[in-house]
A = this chain, B = another copy of it.
């Protein structure tokens, strides 16, 4: 879709749209010959499937298994390959660290340097994760009085951790300080483009201070910074679609992805009921809600077929309460498939249930990957879904006379 054309067709009205992402809900049959959706006792969604539209979506491209970043950018209507998300940002989102557009992120390694400051081991002998936790705590304590910016460190596995610099308005296009070889000193951080000199200066200051903090460590006496990045600059949901949008998610990663396109991130609790309450409380304030259910994916990754089924059933029970709010369009789908039998994200198509006022219902048993193949929406790319939601809520003018 030509985005400028789409934008020229947008018309504002007060109809409301709900996008439900049952993260990774798509599956493949296990030994019972059923998928998680097929196994689930979910009479509401099945009934809705018989009266509304079904389809199936390609998240990124045929055969491509998406991470959560591309998967969500696509359902938000953005071409996921056009908006690469920096490695520091991905690492932070992956550790579920809250970030905003004044956050600079970096993937860090603990490393070992000799008395001249030359690198001996780029991974500090792969120290244990427990050791990592101790060192990150030490760093956080030692950076509490860092001037101007809040500097935070978060443990990853072994020698890996994440740096966040908070409150930086300027750019963060800065080289890696990791030279990728031993017997050399860590590189100086330098601005690469944009307004990044402040960021480079602060990275160098953090490096210098960390050397002092870590000087008595035998292995982990130095930090290497890689993938220094802020959130990508991306057209906001409001600017692109004219929609005032809100995110109701329990995990920081999805809040982070929604904040990429400047949705409002609503405070909510841990449970599905909490999320539905947040939706109710904020229903009048927004045109569009992104409602993220995490556990379908988590159980898929664990290979826990039955628990994934239960999350689907739990969502189905609460769905009538959601629908009673009066949305004009509700899409229930996923960012990608996470088949329990694969214990991982997969490249498989994603099922789509599209609840709207102008359906062409077909004869199906219910909502499942295989019934969706018969649906009236057919095969679309995930990034096309938003256009369909806008159309079905009468938010797009006719193109041409």
Residues of A within 8 A of B (CB): 1-2, 5-6, 9, 28-29, 35, 56, 60-71, 80-81, 84-85, 90-91, 93-94, 339, 341-342, 344-349, 358-362, 369-370, 373-376, 378-380, 384, 387-392, 396-401
- In the complex, chain B residues whose CB is within 8 Å of the CB of A390: 63
Please pick, from B29, B60, B70, B94, the residue contacting A361 in the complex, using a CB distance under 8 A: B29
Please pick, from B66, B349, B358, B375, the residue contacting A348 in the complex, using a CB distance under 8 A: B358
CB–CB A400/B67 < 8 A: yes
- In the complex, chain B residues whose CB is within 8 Å of the CB of A391: 63-65, 347
Q: A61-B387, A376-B349, A376-B373 are in contact. Are A67 and B398 (CB under 8 A)?
A: yes
Residue on B nearest A65 in the bound complex, by CB? B398
CB proximity of A264 to chain B, nearest CB, Å:
24
- Bound together, the chains give a CA A341 to CA B359 distance in angstroms of 11
- Bound together, the chains give a CA A94 to CA B400 distance in angstroms of 10
- Copies, count: 2
Q: A339-B358, A362-B370 are in contact. Are A345 and B380 (CB under 8 A)?
A: no
- Bound together, the chains give a CA A390 to CA B347 distance in angstroms of 11
- In the complex, chain B residues whose CB is within 8 Å of the CB of A9: 64
Please pick, from B6, B347, B360, B387, the residue contacting A28 in the complex, using a CB distance under 8 A: B360
Residue on B nearest A253 in the bound complex, by CB? B401
CB proximity of A298 to chain B, nearest CB, Å:
15
- In the complex, chain B residues whose CB is within 8 Å of the CB of A379: 378-379
- Bound together, the chains give a CA A384 to CA B63 distance in angstroms of 8
Instruction: Kindly list 12 other residue pairs between chains A and B, CB separation below 8 angstroms, not including A68-B401, A347-B391.
Output: A5-B81, A9-B64, A62-B387, A63-B384, A63-B396, A64-B391, A85-B400, A342-B358, A348-B360, A362-B370, A374-B374, A378-B379
> Would you give 27 A-B contacts (Cβ < 8 Å), ordered by A?
A1-B62, A5-B81, A6-B64, A28-B360, A29-B361, A63-B387, A63-B390, A66-B399, A66-B400, A67-B400, A68-B400, A69-B401, A70-B399, A70-B400, A71-B400, A85-B400, A90-B400, A345-B398, A347-B391, A347-B392, A348-B360, A349-B378, A360-B369, A362-B370, A369-B376, A374-B374, A378-B378
The 5 closest A-B pairs by CB, nearest first: A63-B387, A67-B400, A63-B391, A90-B401, A62-B384
- In the complex, chain B residues whose CB is within 8 Å of the CB of A81: 2, 5
- In the complex, chain B residues whose CB is within 8 Å of the CB of A341: 358
- In the complex, chain B residues whose CB is within 8 Å of the CB of A378: 56, 349, 373, 378-379
Q: A63-B387, A347-B391 are in contact. Are A35 and B400 (CB under 8 A)?
A: no
- Bound together, the chains give a CA A347 to CA B9 distance in angstroms of 13
CB–CB B28/A358 < 8 A: yes
Please pick, from B62, B84, B396, the residue contacting A65 in the complex, using a CB distance under 8 A: B396
